[in-house]
Amino acid sequence: MERLGTLERLRRYPVKSMAGEDLQEARVSYAGLVGDRVYAFVDNENRSSFPWMTGRQGPPMILFRARFSAAPVAEVEHPRAEQYALEVTTPEGEVFRVDEPRFREYLEKRFGRSLQLRFSERSMMDAMPVSVLGLGTVRGLGEEVGMKLDERRFRANFYVRWANDAPYYEDDLVGRRLRIGEDVEVQVVEKDSRCKMITLDPETAEASPRVLERVALKHSGCTGVYGAVLREGVVRVKDAVYAV
């Protein structure tokens, strides 16, 4: 096997479109990282194929911080229901249980939409179970738009430092199989089509439209890649990433 790089950052997003969390290790199932996007809010008035309430409609949503009360741990293959209990802290510091009616009412009032909470252990992704982004890509795009970019704005699961550190190197891996650590294998399926979300600063929700404009004009609207999980297991920060 050829070593391609190192997993430098590992992130999951307990509530779709809310702030993510850094992990040192995580169990990866065929559905993705355990605990990733297991909660989501549906916009009851949205009849499109993408009914979710996200930062596209309400940018401040990305500033809400979710925390599992007793988070699923990597050693446990099938977490108990209580391990998915979740608290959410608003940008102003108020704390709610994600499933309590008054939190839904709070969000409805704040964003002016009728919402419904959904939960699924299998996660509610936009496209594929996992996403991979090279840190060289973040650096390179930042140079193109003339600003330092926080890699968290791209909301990936696996942030990799490729051995060659070349921007957009992961684009060349579409169709190839990767092994991350000792167990997990991922088939790189396609490039990751981007939307307004990458314009939003993860600390302030301030929009920088030129980020998406550059991606659309020069990179076919894509940054990073999506993958399908072929072999389940545990991944850890600093794991090696190989071509299989």
What's the domain range around 43? 2-243
Instruction: Report the C-alpha gap between 107 and 55 in whole angstroms.
Output: 12
Instruction: At 165, list the tokens.
Output: 């550190």
d(CA 118, CA 105): 15
Helical (H) or strand (E) element with 135? helix 135-145
What does residue 155 show for φ and ψ, rounded to 5 degrees?
A: 50, 40
In this prediction, residue 113 has a pLDDT band, given cuts at 50, 70 and 90, of very high
Report pTM. 0.95
pLDDT at 81 exceeding the cut of 90: no
Give the pLDDT confidence of 197-244 residue by residue, as tens digits: 999 999 999 999 999 999 999 999 999 999 999 999 999 999 999 999
Total domain count for the chain? 1
End-to-end C-alpha distance for the chain, whole angstroms: 6
Of 191 and 126, more confident = 191
pLDDT in tens, 24-65: 999 999 999 999 999 999 999 998 889 999 999 999 999 999
Flag whether pLDDT at 77 surpasses 90. Answer: no
Residue 30, domain CATH: 2.40.33.20
pLDDT, tens digit, 9 for 90 and up, residues 117-155: 999 998 999 989 999 999 999 999 999 999 999 999 999
Residue 221: CA atoms inside 13 Å, Cβ hemisphere, count? 5
C-alpha 27/C-alpha 32 separation (Å) is: 8
Residue 67, token pair as written in the block? 């925390």
Name the band, by pLDDT with cuts 50, 70 and 90, for residue 194. very high
CB 31 within 8 A of CB 129: yes
